[in-house]
A and B are shown apart, each in its own frame.
Chain A
Amino acid sequence: MTLSMELIFSLAVGIMAAAGLYLILRPRTFQIIIGLSLLAYAVNLFIFGMGRLRLGAPPVITPALGGNPALYTDPLPQALVLTAIVIGFATTALFLVVLLASRGFSGTDHVDGEEPEE
């Protein structure tokens, strides 16, 4: 296994996913919100990777190049990820406000709304 762009990309996705997974298993709401962001980066990169890694391929149709699809990057994963990024922001905002409200009501930032007994 030589060091290739693919390998680096995979490791990046894996490490961010691992950090995100660790965080969403933690008990404090702030940890969850950071964990979800990291997980979202990893998942977005993964979906983006579905179109394979292309260096220097034009993302926008250039009339000089013609309409051969093989010359361009895969636009579909990009469109999906673009949507996911914006929705990700919206859910982060919603989650943040919910956790603030929950903290106001319950007086704790534990995910279950109460401090564990131990």
Chain B
Amino acid sequence: MILLPIVLLPFIGSLCAALLPAHARNAEAWLAGIIALTVAVLTAAQYPQLATDGVLRLTLPWLPTLGIDFQLRMDGFAWLFAMLVSLIGMLVVIYARYYMSPSDPVPRFFSFFLAFMGTMLGVVLSGNLLQLAMFWELTSLASFMLIAYWHHRRDARAGARMALTVTGMGGLALLGGVLLIGHIVGSYDLDAVLAASEEIKAHAWYPAIVGLIAIGALSKSAQFPFHFWLPHAMAAPTPVSAYLHSATMVKAGVFLLARLWPALAGSDLWFWLIGGAGLCTLLIGGYLALFQNDMKGVLAYSTISHLGLITLLLGMNSELALVAAVFHMVNHATFKASLFMAAGIVDHETGTRDVNRLSGLYRAMPITATLALVAAAAMAGVPLLNGFLSKEMFFAETVFLARPEWQRLLLPVAATLAGMLSVAYSLRFVHQVFFGPPAADLPHQPHEPTRWMLLPSALLVAACLLVGMLPAQTVGPFLRAATDALLGAAAPDYDLAIWHGLNLPLYMSLTALMGGVMLYLPCIGRRSERIPLLERIDGKRFFNRLLNAVSILSEWLLGRLTSQRLQRQLLVIVLVVIGGSLLPFTPFASSTNNGPLLFGAQTPTETDPAFALLWVVGALCAVAAAWQAKLHRLAALILAGGAGLATSLTFVWFSAPDLALTQLAVEVVTAVLILLGLRWLPRRDARFRAGKAEAPRARLRRLRDLLIAIAGGGGIAALTYAMLTRPPVDGIAPFFVAQSLPQGGGLNVVNVILVDFRGFDTFGEITVVAIVALTVFALLRRFRPAPESMALPAQQIRDAAPKPDPAASLPTGYLMLPAVLVRLLLPMALMISLFFLLRGHNAPGGGFVGGLIFATAIILQYIVSGAVWVESRLRIHPLYWITAGLLCAAAAGIMAAVSGNPGGDPFLASQAWHGSLPLVGEIHLSTVLLFDIGVYLLVVGATVLILVALAHQSLRNLHRRTETGAAISNTVGSTISSTVSGAAQ
């Protein structure tokens, strides 16, 4: 189907545009223009099929488990919008090529422009409401980027942020409404939703749905009370305004209202909410437009006002009004885009957009002036132009409204008033800028712009004229297709003629025209700085106050609920956990357990005195470590190691040799690690032994923490006991034991789980280890120790070892013998580690243990011989080891894809090959082994990287000390010499 490229092409183009060089204006414009044109041609080519089939669909599975598909759906209405989006997009691209200055980074502009076009096409062509809401949010994001294009400007950033906040909030409300609809209908499919109209309207949630959808649509279309964001979005480059605020962004809101009109409209609530908002916006926007001094400001408020007109039409609950609304969407897009372009041209050529400074440009730029004049006339609703036709339909609708008497009287009056305002601001826009005496003090001498900048505007104005004079022959069939698609059989008959005879709407039009002129006359030559009556109603100020209030409130709440102090945070966490675990003992808990809480039915295992003794020592070590951790770090480290050793022996005791091995190896490495760190910690003993009186509060706090710790530990002990005395639960363990050999091909079940059944988890884990090692490495590269740690520790000075000599084969002094032994140990350790690695699948061992053993052996070399000596003989590149490890593990996983099975096996499914080789004999190879080798390499690399990076700090410190020492002695020396010379004089 051709629908997919229509949506995808702009996104692909966006990626390409982002990659072009910074000043490739022509290439960018060609790319964007061709893509917009292709989309337009593709869309146009669908028309014949659309005319016969009615609706074109494309469904791709998206979230099949939730029954949600990615659906593209094109009917007459969507087609009309897709044409508008792509055609006006193309014209804006041509315009933008000449508007953007050579110093603007155009890749960003065209990239976001195309992305925006894609999101907008996505909104228009979505056949699924959730997908529509997603594209809706994407339009907000893309427009944010476009409005903030000149991000060095404060107003651009503020305007973009405001637009994003308001429309993003609206998008959230829309999503809520869509979810409610989906809940009622049981599907997010647009056809299903439209078919369930009666069901939705009868549902109790109908008001909530209308409210939420209205917030979404009204905020997007800049309707009262959300209208204030649009004028501030004018900080965007003018091509962006011409695109976003004529044919696309703001039209999304009214598009959605029209799209859901058959499903939601027809109620009083709809009339008051949508119609009311539309009417307010129509009048307020028109009134405010009259007092703007910025050309784009006038256009912004007139856009707000015209969208209000469309919204009002949509809120009238009448089919003919819907037709008028769709017609006006198209008309407004054409004349407003061309007016924005005119404003941009004036700005580009004169350097200002101030209506009061500009004057008499008609002489210097006659073509621009003519184009702007015609477009503004269309905006004002002058006969023979397209704006007149839809405005006439609007007037007719207000007159024939099927509502109570007073509303039927009030609405035509309001409509006529709005028409007068529209005429007045259009007149002011054209008259002040292009007529009158020539302006004297313009930043640039005005002249006609290049032809290519005029062309898009001229084409749009030609469209205004053509539609205005020959509506039935030009836009007629497309409009008919659009309204038929929306209303189906209920589509009313209408006549797109210019002359309907002398009727009330025509009189209203004439009144509006004359009234508008009268309204404008007193404004000529008057500079308006203040807006009468509505001066105090400023949406921006209210918005900023609201934002401030929200951030103050959240700060206050954060201050109540959190603390900057880690101790307090941990205290709260521990207390909450302890409190939460007490819940089963409260009367509120539902008692589903049977039997005593603490003692299970399992017969206890008989005590082994040796085990009891082991834990007497282990527990003493743990408590002593807690006691000593403050003042005697080394003692605490050793004691904690004792507790770790007891843990390791416990693993052996209860038949877990793999754990015991790993624990033991990790214990060694951790001890070395912390020993290396100890050197950089502040001295504690001297300061605290100096007899500093301890505050009683600190003692009290320690007592409190002790009680909490005893309570927590007691709770955990009770929990452990309760668990251990219950019979084991048959979980998934039997599966692993039973399938280890048949499926995993290994006897060591723990290892088979790690490298085969749960290989993906292990892959993630070793990746984490690699990331940690790299983070440690990166952190230490910029490490600055505290100044008081720079000096050599007392032990190093007292027992000064001879300076290591890289050239000597053996160190002299007391390290000579250990050096001999450790060097002999290295190859043996390598062999043992490989032994553990290779046998891991069938016996205790594996990549983790093997890697840790070898890493320990390497670290031993460093400890005994010193970093300088080791690195002069043996360059270990831990980063390569880490990389190789990750690659091995990944390769083992990917091999599953090229297995013999059709389509390949899932990632990390183990593959084995069994056969015989000449000379070697029978051999069994498995990807599992490759995976374990990857683990081994990575563990070696990561451990060595961490420890060596830490160890190198002492070497670097040596350099730092000599540098600063030299600097100090230099300064001291020069001070002394200058003092001496001063005294001599």
Q: Do A and B bind each other?
A: yes
Q: Chain A: residues with CB nearer than 8 A to chain B?
A: 1-31, 33-35, 37-38, 41-42, 44-46, 48-62, 67, 69, 72-76, 78-79, 81-83, 85-94, 96-101, 103-105, 107-109, 111-112, 118
- Cβ < 8 Å to A, chain B residues 562-586: 564-567, 570-571, 574
Report B777-811 CB contacts with A as 1/0, cut-off 8 Å.
00110111110000000000000000000000000
Residue among A37, A49, A86, A104 with most chain B CB within 10 A: A86
Contact A76/B622 with A16-B643, A88-B666 known, Cβ cut-off 8 Å? no
CB distance A72 to B749 under 8 Å? yes
Per-residue A-contact encoding for B696-732, CB less than 8 Å = 1, 0 else: 0110000001101110111111111101110110011
Interface residues of B in 662-706 (CB under 8 A from A): 662-663, 666, 669-670, 673-674, 677, 680-682, 684, 695, 697-698, 705-706
Contact B709 A5 (CB under 8 A): no
On chain A, the residues within 8 Å of B750 by CB distance are 59, 75, 78-79, 82
Judged by a CB distance under 8 angstroms, whether B629 is at the interface is: yes
B945 to chain A minimum Cβ distance, whole angstroms, is 10
**How far is A90 from B567 in the complex, measured between Cα atoms in Å?**
23
B604 CB-CB contact with A under 8 Å: yes
- Expressed in whole angstroms, the minimum distance between the Cβ of A12 and any Cβ of chain B is 5
Cβ–Cβ < 8 Å partners of B724 in chain A: 6, 9-10, 49, 52-53
Which of A91, A94, A108 has the most CB atoms of chain B within a 10 A radius of its CB?
Answer: A94
CA of A60 to CA of B938, assembled, Å = 26
Chain A CB within 10 Å, residue with most, of B734, B741, B750: B750
Q: Is the interface of B mostly helix, strand, loop or mixed?
A: helix
B622 touches which one: A38, A103, A104, A105 (CB < 8 A)? Answer: A38
Counting chain B CB atoms within 10 Å of each CB, the highest count among A8, A54, A98 belongs to A8
Known: A29-B681, A76-B731, A101-B780. 20 other contacts (CB 8 A): A3-B612, A4-B607, A15-B717, A18-B716, A23-B629, A25-B708, A25-B709, A27-B567, A28-B684, A30-B629, A30-B681, A53-B654, A69-B734, A75-B737, A75-B749, A86-B662, A89-B669, A90-B768, A100-B785, A105-B784
Chain B residues with Cβ below 8 Å from A5 are: 604-608, 611
Q: Which of B712, B733, B754, B783 contacts A101 (CB 8 A)?
A: B783
Residue contacts A-B, CB under 8 angstroms, 20 given:
A3-B612, A8-B611, A12-B618, A16-B643, A25-B570, A38-B643, A42-B716, A44-B647, A44-B663, A46-B719, A49-B724, A52-B724, A53-B724, A58-B655, A61-B741, A87-B765, A93-B773, A96-B673, A96-B674, A103-B785
Q: Are B658 and A59 in contact (CB under 8 A)?
A: yes
Cα–Cα, bound, A10→B731 (Å) = 22
CB of B606 within 8 A of CB of A75, answer: no
A60 touching B656 by the CB < 8 A rule?
Answer: no
Q: Is the CB of B659 within 8 A of A82?
A: yes
**B residues near A109, Cβ cutoff 8 Å:** 681-682
Q: Are B606 and A4 in contact, CB atoms less than 8 angstroms apart?
A: yes
Nearest-neighbour CB distance to chain B for A88, whole angstroms, equals: 7
- B974 on interface, CB distance cutoff 8 Å: no
Given that A25-B571, A85-B663 are contacting pairs, would A34 and B758 also be in contact in the complex, using a CB cutoff of 8 Å?
Answer: no
**Complex CA distance for A93 and B717, rounded to whole angstroms:** 28
Do the beta carbons of B625 and A89 come within 8 Å of each other? Answer: no
Stretch from B9-17, B59-67, B482-490, B841-849 contacting the other chain: B841-849
Q: Cβ of A60 and Cβ of B843 under 8 Å apart?
A: yes
Q: B646 near A: Cβ within 8 Å?
A: yes
* Stretch of B292-300, B633-641, B926-934 contacting A (4+ beta carbons < 8 Å): B633-641
Query: Once the chains are docked, how many angstroms separate the CA of A92 from the CA of B637?
Result: 13
Q: How far is the CA of A24 from the CA of B761 in the complex (A)?
A: 29
B: residues with CB less than 8 A from A are: 564-567, 570-571, 574, 599, 602, 604-608, 611-612, 615, 618-619, 622-623, 625-626, 629-630, 633, 636-637, 640, 643-644, 646-647, 650-651, 653-659, 662-663, 666, 669-670, 673-674, 677, 680-682, 684, 695, 697-698, 705-706, 708-710, 712-721, 723-725, 727-728, 731-734, 736-738, 740-741, 747-750, 753-754, 758, 761-762, 765, 768-769, 772-773, 775-776, 779-780, 782-786, 842-844, 848, 939, 942-943, 946, 950
Which residues does chain A contribute within 8 Å of B622, judged by CB atoms? 15-16, 19-20, 38, 41
Chain B residues closer than 8 Å to A33, beta-carbon distance:
674
Residue of A at shortest CB range from B624? A19
B607 — which chain A residues lie within 8 A by C-beta? 3-5, 8
A10, B721: Cβ atoms closer than 8 Å: yes
| A93-B673 in contact given A25-B570, A85-B666 (Cβ < 8 Å) | yes
- B784 x A6 contact (CB < 8 A): no
CB-based contact A41/B647 at 8 Å: yes
Q: When the two chains form their complex, are residues B738 and A15 in contact, meaning their CB atoms are under 8 A apart?
A: no
Contact of B604 among A6, A12, A22 (CB under 8 A): A6
Q: Which chain A residue lies CB-closest to B607?
A: A3
B737 neighbours in A (Cβ, 8 Å) = 61, 67, 69, 72, 75
Cβ-defined partner of B656 (8 Å) among A10, A78, A99, A105? A78
